């Protein structure tokens, strides 16, 4: 097997045993990037020189006979809305095209403390708004399984980099599905942690009450290792939780006997692709064979999740994106006076989808509409949260499709925002409820495109999700 195809935990063994060097591994990843990146377009920025230097430092440590940490010397990608000190962080937006953060996001800083080798900053939908990576202000990313298809989004660059072996693992962010849906479209593992499990400090804000950073990996073991590295309370993010962080590798136990798993009937929605439904239902069967108890459950307010999300997320986005005014951050387009300068900057530098959401958000928040839209959405959010609380009285985990279809064709939906939004039906409810969820590959469609299913857990119970995911993967 080629080095670039291996998992982080396999590579760690080889590194520690001095059977390979991080320099060799990093060179192998970059030759893979040189061979395929033209076609895939997973990255916005490559950090080749830094990677070579960092790999060398790890090799020196190993040659001194020192023990290395689990992710030390392993090449990774980071979504380009996660701040990296001294390295451009663009959010795939022209407005931040040349923005170089003066500090690291906490999650990246914690990861960097393990000395992985950063390969580059991965493409995304502008400001993480989208589900296909077609909204990037720079270029489209293609699905490694079929270059005519999208990789999903908004962490499409991160998922495509891992699937195309241009990185061993990646960090993504998930506001309404942006880790899980691209993971499912690209045939890899993606985990959205519980809201608050991972610090949002230095994650460029899209919708602050929903955003979470999480791992995109080749397997469940790597997912646990990356979550171990990034989780935990951070004084710089008051919404981060001080709950204990377990060692998630302890969850890598193949045993689901007696585990109660619920299949929410509302997630097998009208319009779900037949291949997806078959694959997800057979994953549920597999759990039954492995000793879990699978029952049908109901999450009755699921129907309202899309409308609720597409009011709350744009409302928060409209507020968060006010700061891009041509003064404090990023690009400026001059004008006759300050108002014209701000207007010109925002008109020219924001893409169409970002503008659409700023308008929807400001509309929903404006006097006279606030009660009818934003406040109503907050109330429905509570109902959706309660659905989960009720469901978790009788089950330990919820199993559902990650998305109603596999990857779609590039260009197929981009002109129909509503159709694109409806794609998020299975992923946004978790963000509204703050719950953790993982997407695990479970087969392919007739056209050979990956399918993923989702395991949803109770708040802060990533451990059970990882145990079940690991059990399924081993089987
Ligand atoms: N597709 C969803 C959206 O466009 C989710 C995006 C995300 O999770 N960042 O808002």
Q: Whose CA is nearest to atom 10 of ligand 1?
A: 129
DSSP letter string, 124-188: -SGGG--SSSTT-SS----BTTBTTB---SSSHHHHHHHHTTS-SEEEEEESSSTTHHHHHHHTS
**Four-residue CA torsion sign, 234, 235, 236, 238:** positive
CB of 135 within 6 A of ligand 1: the answer is no
Alpha-carbon gap, residue 101 to 234, rounded angstroms: 19
The pairing of beta strand 260-264 with beta strand 212-217: unpaired
Asked whether 240 lines ligand 1 (CB < 6 A), one says no
Instruction: Locate the ligand 1 atom nearest the alpha carbon of residue 178 and give its number.
Output: 8
pLDDT confidence bin for 329, thresholds 50/70/90: confident
Is 128 close to ligand 1, i.e. is its CB under 6 Å away?
Answer: yes
- Whole-angstrom Cα distance, residue 95 to residue 286? 48
Does residue 269 have a pLDDT over 80?
no
- Provide CATH code, domain 3-251: 3.90.1300.10
Please tell me the predicted confidence (pLDDT) of residue 226: 99
Structure confidence at residue 61 (pLDDT): 97
* Best of 81, 93, 127, 128 for a ligand 1 pocket test (most atoms within 8 Å of beta carbon): 128
Q: Which residue, chain included where needed, has tokens 């204990």?
A: 244
**Residue 270: pLDDT band by 50, 70, 90 thresholds?**
confident
Q: 373-431, pLDDT tens digit by residue?
A: 999 999 999 999 999 999 999 999 999 999 999 999 999 998 899 999 999 999 999 99
Q: Is the confidence at residue 1, as pLDDT, over 90?
A: no
φ and ψ of 151, to 5 deg: -90, 5
Percent over 70 (pLDDT), the chain: 100
Whole-angstrom distance, CA of residue 117 vs CA of residue 134: 27
Per the DSSP assignment, residues forming a β-bridge with 43 are 122
H or E element that contains 454: strand 450-456
35-62 b/e (C-beta count within 10 Å ≥ 16 → b): ebbeebbbbbbbbeebbeebbbebbebb
Kind of pairing, strands 293-297 and 437-444? unpaired
Could you report the per-residue pLDDT of 115-154, keeping only the tens digit for each?
A: 999 999 999 999 999 999 999 999 999 999 999 999 999 9
DSSP letter for each residue of 277-313: HHHHHHHHHHHHHTT-EEEEE--TTGGGHHHHHHHHH
How do residues 7-61 score in pLDDT, each as one tens digit?
Answer: 999 999 999 999 999 999 999 999 999 999 999 999 999 999 999 999 999 999 9
Determine the average pLDDT of the residues in 195-222. Answer: 98
Closest CA to 284 of 426, 442, 393: 442
Average pLDDT over the chain reads 97
Tell me the two tokens of residue 197. 């499990």
Query: Over 90: is that where the pLDDT of 369 sits?
Result: yes
Q: What is the mean pLDDT of residues 90-101?
A: 97
Handedness of CA 361, 362, 365, 368 (dihedral sign): negative
Cis peptide before 154, with omega less than 30 degrees from 0?
yes
Q: How far is CA 313 from CA 4, 210, 224, 379, 381, in A?
A: 37, 8, 28, 14, 12
Check pocket membership of 136 for ligand 1, CB cut-off 6 A.
Answer: no
Least confident of 209-223, 299-313, 378-392, 413-427: 413-427
79 is catalytic: yes
What local confidence, expressed as pLDDT, does residue 104 receive? 98
């Amino acid at each position: 097997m080629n080095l670039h195809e291996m998992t982080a935990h396999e590579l760690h063994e080889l590194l520690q045993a001095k059977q390979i060097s991080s320099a060799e591994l990093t060179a192998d990843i970059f030759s893979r990037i040189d061979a395929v990146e033209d076609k895939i377009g997973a990255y916005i920025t490559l950090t080749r020189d830094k990677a070579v230097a960092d790999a060398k430092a790890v090799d020196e440590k190993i040659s001194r006979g020192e023990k290395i940490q689990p992710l030390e010397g392993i090449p990774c990608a980071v979504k380009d809305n996660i701040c990296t000190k001294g390295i451009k962080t663009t959010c795939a937006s022209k407005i931040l095209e040349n923005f170089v953060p003066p500090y690291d996001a906490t999650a990246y800083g914690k990861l960097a403390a393990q000395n992985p080798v950063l390969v580059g900053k991965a493409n995304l939908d502008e400001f993480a708004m989208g589900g296909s990576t077609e909204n990037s202000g720079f270029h489209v990313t293609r699905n490694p399984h079929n270059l005519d298809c999208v990789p999903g989004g908004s962490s499409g660059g991160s998922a495509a980099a891992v699937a195309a072996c241009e990185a061993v693992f990646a960090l993504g962010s998930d506001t309404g599905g942006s880790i899980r849906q691209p993971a499912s479209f690209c045939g890899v593992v993606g985990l959205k942690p519980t809201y608050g499990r991972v610090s949002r400090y230095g994650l460029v804000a899209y919708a602050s009450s929903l955003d979470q950073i999480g791992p995109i990996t080749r397997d469940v073991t790597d997912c646990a290792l990356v979550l171990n590295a990034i989780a935990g309370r951070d004084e710089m993010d008051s919404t981060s939780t001080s709950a204990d962080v377990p060692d998630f590798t302890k969850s890598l136990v193949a045993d689901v006997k007696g585990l109660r798993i619920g299949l929410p009937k509302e997630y097998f929605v009208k319009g779900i692709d037949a291949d997806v439904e078959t694959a997800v239902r057979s994953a549920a069967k597999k759990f039954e064979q492995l000793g879990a108890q699978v029952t049908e459950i109901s999450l009755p307010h699921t129907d309202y999740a899309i409308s609720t999300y597409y009011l709350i997320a744009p409302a928060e986005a409209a507020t968060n994106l006010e700061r891009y005014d041509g003064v404090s951050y990023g690009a400026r387009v001059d004008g006759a006076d300050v108002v014209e300068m701000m207007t010109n900057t925002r008109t020219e530098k924001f893409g169409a989808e970002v503008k659409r959401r700023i308008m929807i958000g400001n509309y929903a928040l404006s006097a006279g509409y606030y009660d009818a839209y934003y406040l109503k959405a907050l109330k429905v959010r509570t109902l959706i949260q309660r659905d989960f609380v009720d469901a978790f009285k009788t089950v330990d985990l919820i199993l559902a499709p990650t998305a109603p279809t596999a990857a779609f064709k590039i260009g197929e939906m981009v002109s129909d925002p509503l159709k694109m939004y409806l794609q998020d039906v299975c992923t946004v409810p978790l963000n509204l409820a703050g719950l953790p969820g993982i997407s695990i590959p479970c087969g392919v469609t007739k056209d050979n495109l990956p399918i993923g299913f989702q395991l949803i857990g109770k708040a802060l119970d990533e451990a059970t999700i990882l145990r079940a995911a690991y059990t399924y993967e081993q089987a």
